[in-house]
């Protein structure tokens, strides 16, 4: 019995085929005369968890710095001093980027959708109730709208026999050059005309060189003169012609040629021409009046000429702009990215060393000018080289150069100390630039990823401007029959709708910007951690993940920034309305400036936190609040590293813009 058991155990341990039971193996070799014991079959091997669920220990700083790419943590054995492993993986695999996600901040997604429902409702109300002709055309001094068929109103309806149909008179002409309208209050002495006058009194006194009030208002309406005619100077009496020349009506002389700008007749001459005309004119008036007319018309002409010149240049040179500005700039940008991939380190180190050498040289120069450094050999060498540099100290400026030397010593010392402390961080910054270049090389379509947010912004802003125009045109026209002035007023409901629409503009623009950041971050994450197993279409996949899971997080982050922007807009309005009070009270002005600066700084900080939070959401799939908290922690704990990366990156980006502009600017000329 013992012998049989021992034999069975030995047979079990020495069985070459673990899938065959010991009984079958013994029977096959020795027959059935030995007693056998039942031994349980070998259990199958336990499957290992997938790589996405394995516990990976946290890397140490030394391992992080020993890698060939300092910005990437590689899968390797870490130092012996390591903490307990976490259940979360450090390296997001494709499975984690795609499957281990859930919808985040769903409540704000619903709030944003409901808010946009209100935006659509406001747009519908504005478009159906507003009249854009109130903005497109101008008003005359009687409160009638040019370019449309009007209805008679007030006491003037008893003195005229025809309805003022100005369909063929779309332009408003302001006859008295000393008065000009504001945005909401239309000043008197303006009429609707078919064409802006081009003949001036310099060519003679005729109907074409004068613009008159409507004949129905002056009493000159007859069978030969239409009630709404504005060209009948030759029909005036001698007394009225004399008063018209003196700018007292009923007709007013045309001093310069006019051209229609947005259905408003504006001068088309320069300020110098107006000055010459005013100085040579024999019309009555003081020198101050002539100066006011000159300044007003000159500024109007200057603005008109600038806009007209820009439009003409754009139409003439659009081919050059497309080739040199867009095509050439795009090609050079790609070349610059390739250049940064291989020479970013050289450029960064040359810049850092050059800045330190320049500071040391300036310090030495100031020291020699102050007489603190006696270097006769240096002066002889400079003289021998032929350079015109005076290194001798000046007695009258010695004290000033001495203070400058001490100041430059401190600046140069701090710069050198900062450089020594930031060597490792500069290496990380350079590596980040190289990785960015590699990502663009691996995903060339990422260069066109900003096109989608750009198109979204253009479409939305076109909608926003259209709705704002109709909202503005939904006001009520109030006419003053005594002064001839009109004003457009808005009731309380329209004012609240305008504020709602303004906040919607801020919120939506920030939402579009956050969407672009998250899509780009998701594509870069797929490249960075899965270079060997990167999915096809990473930008499309990142966009799909963003739309499916994280719209609510973007809505929450953009809402916070939009609130600050809305408060800033209100403070700008308050600042504009209290300019007079601030002029007499410097304390109020100081506090207003402080509040505006704090709001501006708060907006910048929130945008920076949002950008980093969106990156964490794209990589890990966290909610917005947790991602923002983690982003703040990362910013605080890696402040110097972030400063180095931003400084080097911003400098090289600025240098690239300078190179591209410096090359294609002269090429376009």
Please write the tens of the pLDDT for every residue from 335-366: 777 777 777 778 778 878 888 888 888 888 88
Query: Is the residue at 381 inside a domain?
Result: yes
Q: Mean of the pLDDT values across residues 388-398?
A: 56
Task: Quickly count: other Cβ atoms within 10 Å of residue 364's Cβ.
Answer: 19
Last residue of a domain, one of 408, 442, 476: 442
Q: Is residue 374 pLDDT above 60, yes or no?
A: yes
Q: Are residues 295 and 174 in the same domain?
A: yes
Q: Are residues 199 and 267 in the same domain?
A: yes
pLDDT at residue 183, as a whole number: 39
Signed CA dihedral, 265, 270, 272, 273: sign only: negative
DSSP β-ladder status, 258-261 and 251-253:
unpaired
Q: Mean of the pLDDT values across residues 457-466?
A: 92
Last residue of a domain, one of 284, 309, 334: 309
Query: Is the residue at 216 inside a domain?
Result: yes
Query: Is the residue at 350 inside a domain?
Result: yes
Q: Mean of the pLDDT values across residues 14-37?
A: 54
Alpha helices in 221-283 (DSSP H): 238-245, 271-280
Q: What is the CA radius of gyration of the chain?
A: 40
Please write down the HEC assignment for all residues of 288-306.
HHHHHHHHHHHHHHHHHHH
Q: Are residues 303 and 345 in the same domain?
A: no
Query: 138 CB contacts (<8 Å, ≥6 apart)?
Result: 145, 146, 171, 172, 181, 186, 190, 192, 263, 264
* Entry pTM: 0.65
Q: Are residues 591 and 476 in the same domain?
A: yes
Q: How many domains does the chain have?
A: 4
Q: Are residues 110 and 144 in the same domain?
A: no
Query: Is the residue at 56 inside a domain?
Result: no
The string of pLDDT tens digits covering residues 194-231 is 888 888 888 888 888 888 888 887 888 887 788 888 88
The string of pLDDT tens digits covering residues 409-434 is 998 898 888 888 878 877 887 787 77
The string of pLDDT tens digits covering residues 171-201 is 888 876 655 444 334 445 788 998 888 888 8
Letter string b/e over residues 195-218, b meaning 16 or more CB atoms within 10 A of that residue's CB: ebbeebbeeeeebebbbbbbbbbb
Residue 7 in 3-state DSSP? Answer: helix
Q: Are residues 161 and 247 in the same domain?
A: yes
Query: Is the residue at 152 inside a domain?
Result: yes
Using CA atoms, how far apart are residues 10 and 21, in angstroms rounded to an integer?
13
Q: Is 69 exposed, middle or buried (0-12, 13-18, 19+ CB in 10 A)?
A: middle
Domain span at 28: 1-47
Query: Is the residue at 594 inside a domain?
Result: yes
Q: Mean of the pLDDT values across residues 83-109?
A: 62
Last residue of a domain, one of 276, 309, 342: 309
The string of pLDDT tens digits covering residues 123-177 is 999 888 887 777 788 888 777 888 888 876 655 544 566 778 888 898 888 876 6
Using CA atoms, how far apart are residues 668 and 323, in angstroms rounded to an integer?
9
Q: Is residue 394 pLDDT above 90, yes or no?
A: no
Q: Are residues 465 and 607 in the same domain?
A: yes
pLDDT at residue 296, as a whole number: 46
């Amino acid at each position: 019995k013992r012998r049989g058991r021992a034999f069975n155990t030995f047979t079990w341990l020495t069985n070459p085929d673990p899938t065959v039971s010991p009984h079958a193996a013994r029977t096959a070799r020795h027959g059935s005369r030995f007693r056998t014991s039942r031994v349980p079959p070998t259990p199958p091997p336990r499957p290992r968890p997938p790589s996405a669920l394995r516990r990976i220990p946290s890397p140490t700083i030394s391992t992080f710095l020993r890698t060939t790419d300092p910005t990437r943590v590689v899968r390797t054995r870490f130092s012996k001093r390591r903490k307990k492993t976490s259940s979360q993986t450090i390296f997001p695999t494709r499975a984690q980027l795609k499957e281990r996600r859930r919808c985040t901040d769903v409540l704000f997604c619903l709030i944003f959708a409901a808010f946009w429902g209100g935006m659509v409702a406001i747009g519908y109300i504005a478009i159906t109730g507003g009249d854009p002709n109130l903005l497109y055309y101008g008003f005359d001094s009687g409160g009638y709208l040019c370019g449309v068929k009007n209805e008679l109103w007030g006491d003037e309806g008893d003195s005229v026999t025809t309805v003022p149909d100005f369909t063929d008179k779309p332009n408003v002409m302001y006859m008295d050059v000393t008065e000009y309208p504001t945005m909401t209050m239309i000043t008197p002495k303006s009429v609707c005309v078919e064409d802006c006058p081009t003949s001036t009194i310099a060519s003679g006194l005729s109907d074409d060189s004068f613009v008159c009030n409507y004949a129905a208002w002056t009493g000159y309406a007859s069978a030969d003169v239409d009630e709404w005619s504005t060209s009948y100077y030759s029909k005036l009496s001698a007394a009225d012609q004399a008063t018209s020349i003196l700018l007292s009506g009923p007709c007013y002389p045309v001093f310069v040629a006019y051209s229609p700008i947005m259905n408003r007749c504006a001068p088309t001459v320069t300020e110098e021409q107006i000055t010459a005309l005013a100085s040579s004119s024999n019309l009555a008036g003081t020198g101050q009046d002539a100066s006011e007319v000159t300044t007003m018309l000159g500024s109007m002409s200057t603005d008109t000429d600038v806009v007209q010149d820009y439009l003409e240049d754009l139409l003439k040179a659009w081919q050059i702009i497309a080739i040199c500005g867009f095509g050439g700039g795009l090609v050079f940008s790609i070349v610059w990215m390739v250049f940064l991939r291989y020479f970013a380190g050289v450029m960064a180190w040359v810049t850092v060393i050059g800045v330190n050498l320049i500071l040391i040289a300036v310090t030495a120069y100031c020291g020699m000018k102050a007489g603190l450094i006696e270097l006769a050999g240096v002066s002889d060498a400079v003289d021998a080289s032929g350079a015109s540099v005076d290194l001798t100290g000046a007695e009258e400026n010695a004290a000033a150069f001495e203070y400058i030397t001490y100041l430059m010593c401190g600046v140069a010392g701090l710069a050198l100390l900062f450089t020594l402390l930031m060597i490792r961080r500069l290496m990380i910054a350079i590596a980040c630039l190289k990785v960015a270049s590699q990502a663009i090389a691996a995903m060339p379509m990422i260069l066109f990823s900003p096109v989608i947010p750009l198109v979204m912004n253009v479409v939305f802003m076109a909608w926003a401007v259209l709705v704002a125009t109709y909202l503005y045109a939904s006001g009520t026209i109030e006419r003053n029959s005594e002064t001839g002035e009109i004003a457009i007023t808005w009731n309380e409901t329209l004012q609240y709708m305008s504020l709602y629409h303004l906040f919607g503009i801020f919120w939506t623009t920030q939402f579009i910007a956050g969407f672009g950041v998250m899509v780009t971050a998701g594509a870069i994450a797929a490249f960075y951690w899965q270079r060997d197993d990167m999915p096809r279409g990473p930008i499309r996949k990142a966009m799909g993940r963003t739309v499916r899971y994280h719209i609510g997080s973007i809505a929450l982050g953009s809402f916070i920034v939009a609130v600050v922007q809305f408060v800033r807009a209100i403070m700008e309005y308050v600042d504009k309305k209290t300019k007079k009070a601030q002029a007499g009270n410097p304390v109020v002005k100081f506090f207003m400036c402080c509040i505006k600066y704090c709001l501006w700084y708060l907006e910048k900080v929130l945008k920076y936190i949002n950008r980093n939070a969106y990156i964490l959401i794209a990589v890990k799939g966290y909610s917005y609040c947790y991602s923002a908290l983690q982003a703040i922690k990362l910013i605080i704990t890696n402040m110097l590293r972030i400063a180095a990366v931003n400084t080097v990156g911003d400098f090289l980006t600025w240098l690239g813009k300078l190179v591209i502009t410096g090359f294609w600017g002269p090429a376009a000329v």
